[in-house]
Amino acid sequence: MSGETIARWQFGITTVYHFLFVPLTIGLSLTVASMQTAWVRTRNPDWLRLTRFWGKLMLINFAMGVVTGIVQEFQFGMNWSDYSRFVGDVFGAPLAMEALVAFFLESTFLGLWIFGWDRLPRRVHLATIWLAAGGTVISAYFILAANSWMQHPVGYRINPKTGRAELTSIWKVLTNSTQLVTFPHVVAGSLVTAGAVLMALSAWHLRRDHQVELHRKVAKLGVGVTIVASLATMGFGHLQAQVMTKQQPMKMASAEALWTTENNAPFSLFAYGDVNEGRNKVDLRIPDLLSFLATNSPSGEVRGVQDIAAAEQAKYGPGDYTPVMGITYWTFRLMMGLGGLALVLAVAFGLWLRRTGRPAPDGSTADPGATAQADPEEPAASQPAGRWSRLLLLAVVWGAALPYLANSAGWIFTEMGRQPWLVFGVLRTADGVSPGVSTATVLVTLIGFTLLYGALAVVALRLFLRHGRADIPELPGHGRPSGGDGAAGPDGSDDDLDRLPALAY
Amino acid sequence: MLADFWFVLVAVLWTGFFILEGFDFGVAALLGVLGRAARGSLPAPGGEALETDRRAVLGTIGPVWDGNEVWLLTAGGAMFAAFPEWYASLFSGFYLALFLVLAALIVRGVALEYRAKATTAAGRAWCDRGIVLGGLLPPLLFGVAFANIVRGVKMTPEHEVTSSLLDLLNPYGLLGGVTVLALCLLHGAVFVTLKTAGQVRRRARAAADALFVPAAAALLAYFVWTVVLRGDAAVDAIAAVAFVALLAAFGAHRAQRDGWAFVAMAATLAGLVATWFVAIAPEVLPRLGGGPGLTIHEAASSPYTLKLMTVVALVATPVVLAYQAWSYWVFRRRLVGADGPDNPAGRAAPAQEEAGIAS
């Protein structure tokens, strides 16, 4: 393997891994802030308990996003020094702004939130979580602006003396048409991720008839967030497809394995083809849909791979301008299909919650175990309704994987689909790597990062599940006697939140 | 002109990093020393007292370490935006050293954040190891790296660094590493002295007492070598001031003026960072053995970008400093360990509130 290939693998692994944690960080910090707001507004202690419980899970995930983000700040210089030299004038600006404006905000106020429960007035403390959550969103804006510039470079010129890109308008970079559709797509996708995780963990507890009332609250929140955010993700994704068709026609064509230019282009559901021959052997299609996705009109023209390749060769000189078709085609489908499945699950789970949540005479929600769900002790097969409930809840639990796979597929699609370009139409990936770093050295760090990240993934997931499966603790000095009956959870009395004098206001 | 301003600003960002993360590193590295089991005097079992002490030690940096680390990210980002060539040459050139720093920072961050959430004693012990490693390795490697920048590196005419990791481990580089590590350990001990009371503070005081002489010896040796290597009036003067500041820190520490001792330590670290940047100016990356290196103006971004970043920095930095300072003010109270006043059984002490919530 060449140094370029290994450097690309390293960037791919570290960045996709980083982005496993980022969407949940963004989505969960916003939803936990909402839970705390609900508590401050209503004084309902349930929301405080949920804020604490989900806040802890948010922090387990947040930490991983923070530490893997450190690598992102430096690896452009490490593995992509010629890229950094060429574009630093443009690309460095949003990165520096991200650190200065967003990273300080999120890290400082997150520290204040974690440790400030008994130090800050209630509303000030609430403000700290919103500021930290705002920091994550601002951070996403700057880094996506930087990425959008690689997809569609604007607001720059090439300095004829140095041969390097120079910024001419930060405004154009920050309001890049690519960015304006990408940012909402990514933030909405982050909320889908958080919604799916909220749903999954609640479903896990509901399946066990465990703290039903509390987990139903979160389940409803998760369903609502997932449905709204999924629709937003799709809507902005649709706008993105149109922008992409104009700006990177090759990416759109290769996403569809559309070899020749077509009007009334169909959307391909499943295709298997021969890249060398430039045609598909098997292709299952929905008529007109691609034209609609790409141009908003069922009869719009979508250019095919072969025509675009010829046009790009004429423009940029001889060379291969086609990305790896198997990857772009399938990641595009996986992104949309898995994301769509998350929406379907949310709708199904929402209906289930409605059906099982008929108010009992005393005003509280009915126990789903009594109406629809089998008692865990009894064989589920004896109650068909309970069996279906349990199956649905199990699907919701595993459904948490859907947005993760969709997010990763989306990034792999958009980055692989840009190849062979690093900055579209301006700099090739092969010209961006560090010339002075040997292949062996990159391989060493590739292996090092992969092992470290793999080990941390196990640690973080286990910790997340251990805390996620535990009881939602009573508030200190509140309610029923805790402990002694196995209700203490895996933390036992050591749980720091148990001791937290959070009601000291 | 603006490029020079940004050179100074990058130096300021690194100064902020070494002053703030400096004590984070020191506190983390000294965890096993400052948070050891109290003997005899307590009714609580040793394990619990040890745990309470460690939580108090880590509680001193718990709310702030992550914000402090952002100074590093901002310094990196500022170098990328204002001096792309510097960013590219330096970080691709010091590749393996930077990889080790990043790995250590990752381990440290996860260990710090997961320690209080660990559900077993073994899990906490692993976190403690990660915290100590993550406190020791980065300052050592940063010291090696900056000493080598001052010394100069081998590079091509295109400013691709060709020095290997082993080349960086030359005597001057290693002395720089030991110096920065010793100063960070001392800085951490002084910080814990300032931020705690009772037994933990007594241990921190003792650790600082023990660290002053080796730190002063290392700093003196490093400064003498630096003056021989790249001395001029400015470097000599700053080095002298920094060394005097270290002696002042010792005096203040002995007089139990904890706040002044901390300020003087911060001044020492600021002086050390200043010698690095003053010594290499007007270059950002000197060539080993003389010859033209990479200069501020060669490395700098276009005037537009520099102007833009100046506006951003002038607007954002005061705000950042204000809220970071506020967060230190919020957590100004001294923490106590297992010997805390209302803590006979090692439970429910203020220190636990503070350290315990450690995410």
Could you report the per-residue pLDDT of A223-272, keeping only the tens digit for each?
999 999 999 999 999 999 889 988 998 998 888 888 888 888 888 877 77
pLDDT top residue among A490 and A407: A407
Residue B231 pLDDT: 85
Contact B73 A70 (CB under 8 A): yes
| SS3 assignment for A10-53 | HHHHHHHHHHHHHHHHHHHHHHHHHHHHHHHHHCCHHHHHHHHH
Mark yes or no for CB contact A104/B320 under 8 Å. Answer: yes
Q: How confident is the model at residue B327 (pLDDT cuts 50, 70, 90)?
A: very high
Min Cα separation B169/chain A (Å): 17
The alpha-helical segments, DSSP class H, found in A317-438 are 325-356, 368-371, 384-399, 401-416
Residues in A closer than 8 angstroms to B65, CB to CB, are 111
Q: Which residues of A touch B348 (CB under 8 A)?
A: 499
- B246 occurs within a structural domain: no
Q: Do A496 and B356 touch (CB under 8 A)?
A: yes
Q: Is the pLDDT of residue A203 over 90?
A: yes
Q: What are phi and psi of B170, to 5 degrees?
A: -85, 165
Phi-psi region of A264 (alpha: psi -120 to 50; beta: other; left: phi over 0): left
- Beta bridge partner(s), residue A158: A165
* One-letter amino acid for residue B147 of the chain: A
Q: Is residue A483 scored above 70 in pLDDT?
A: no
Exposed, middle or buried: residue B170 (CB in 10 Å: 0-12, 13-18, 19+)?
Answer: middle
Name the closest residue on chain B to residue A83, using Cα atoms.
B88
Q: For B170-204, how does the pLDDT look when each residue is reduced to its tens digit (9 = 90+)?
A: 999 999 999 999 999 999 999 999 999 989 999 99
Question: CB contact, 8 Å: B183 with chain A?
Answer: no
The nearest alpha carbon in chain A to B116 belongs to A496
Mean pLDDT of B230-236: 91
The one-letter code for the residue type at A202 is S
- A248's tokens: 């990177």
Q: How many residues does chain B have?
A: 359
User: Would you state the structure tokens that stand for residue A276, as one six-digit string?
Assistant: 């060398």
Facing B63 at nearest CB: one of A90, A114, A496: A114
**Per-residue model confidence (pLDDT) at position A504:** 22
Pairing verdict, β A279-286 and A421-423: unpaired
Given the cut 0.95, state whether the ipTM is greater than it.
no
Task: Check: pTM over 0.90? Answer yes or no.
Answer: no
Write out chain A residues lying below 8 Å of B119, CB-based.
463, 466, 490-491, 494
- Using CB atoms within 10 A of its CB, is residue B88 exposed (0-12), middle (13-18) or buried (19+)? buried
Interface check for B5 against chain A (CB to CB < 8 A): the answer is no
The answer to whether position B236 is within a domain reads no
Q: CA B26: distance to chain centroid?
A: 7
Please report the residues numbered 300 through 359 in chain B whose beta carbons come closer than 8 angstroms to any beta carbon of chain A: 301-302, 304-305, 308-309, 312-313, 316-317, 320, 323-324, 327, 330-331, 347-348, 352-354, 356-359
Q: Which residues of chain B does A445 touch, with a Cβ-Cβ cutoff of 8 Å?
A: 95-96, 99
CB B39 within 8 A of CB B337: no
Record: contact B305-A167, CB cut-off 8 A = yes
**Is A75 within 8 Å of A24 (Cβ atoms)?**
no
**Of A458, A354, A344, A349, nearest to A397 (Cα)?**
A349
Contact across the interface for A96 and B78, Cβ inside 8 Å: yes
Cα–Cα distance for residue pair B200/A209, rounded to 1 Å: 46
DSSP letter (8 states) at residue A99: I
The residue to which tokens 């609580």 are assigned: B44
Structural domain of B98? 2-216+273-353
Dist. CA A83–CA A102, nearest whole Å: 24
Is residue B261 in a domain?
A: no
Number of domains in chain B: 1
Please tell me the distance in Å from A448's CA to the nearest CA on chain B: 8
Asked if the structure places residue B230 within a domain, the reply is no
Q: Does B63 touch chain A (CB under 8 A)?
A: yes
Average pLDDT of the segment spanning B126-140: 95
Q: Which residues of B are less than 8 Å from A68 in CB distance?
A: 106
CA distance B37 to chain A (A): 18
As a whole number, mean pLDDT of residues A187-210 equals: 94
Mean pLDDT (whole number) for B124-146: 95
CA distance B344 to chain A (A): 16
- What is the mean predicted confidence (pLDDT) over A464-482? 75
Please report the number of interchain residue pairs, chain A to chain B, with beta-carbon separation below 8 angstroms.
251
> How far does the CA of residue A475 sit from the closest CA of chain B (Å)?
14
Q: What is the mean pLDDT of residues A286-295?
A: 82
Please check whether residue A197 is in contact with residue A61, taking contact to mean a CB–CB distance below 8 angstroms: no
Give all strands (DSSP E) within A219-302, no chain letters: 267-274, 279-286
Q: Provide the 8-state DSSP code for A473.
A: P
Nearest to A89 among B301, B327, B353 (CB): B301
Q: Is residue B224 part of a domain?
A: no
User: Best mutation site among B2, B61, B110, B115 for testing chain A: the one with the most A CBs within 10 Å?
Assistant: B110
Instruction: Tell whether B330 is covered by a domain.
Output: yes
Which burial class, exposed, middle or buried, applies to B95 when counting CB atoms under 10 A from its CB (0-12, 13-18, 19+)?
buried
Is there a domain that residue B182 lies in? yes
B92 contact residues in A (CB cutoff 8 A): 77-79, 81, 434, 436-437
Q: Is B88 in contact with A88 (Cβ distance < 8 A)? A: yes
Which of B80, B103, B347 lies nearest to residue A92, judging by beta carbons? Answer: B80
Integer CA distances (angstroms), A441 to A7, A309, A387, A447, in order? 10, 35, 55, 10
Q: Quick check: helix, strand or coil at residue B3?
A: helix
| B106 at interface of A, judged by CB pairs closer than 8 A | yes
Q: Where are the alpha helices (DSSP H) in A43-121?
A: 45-79, 81-97, 104-115
**Percent of chain A beyond pLDDT 90?**
60
**Residue B16 domain-assigned (yes or no):** yes
Question: Is residue B308 within 8 Å of A100, Cβ to Cβ?
Answer: no
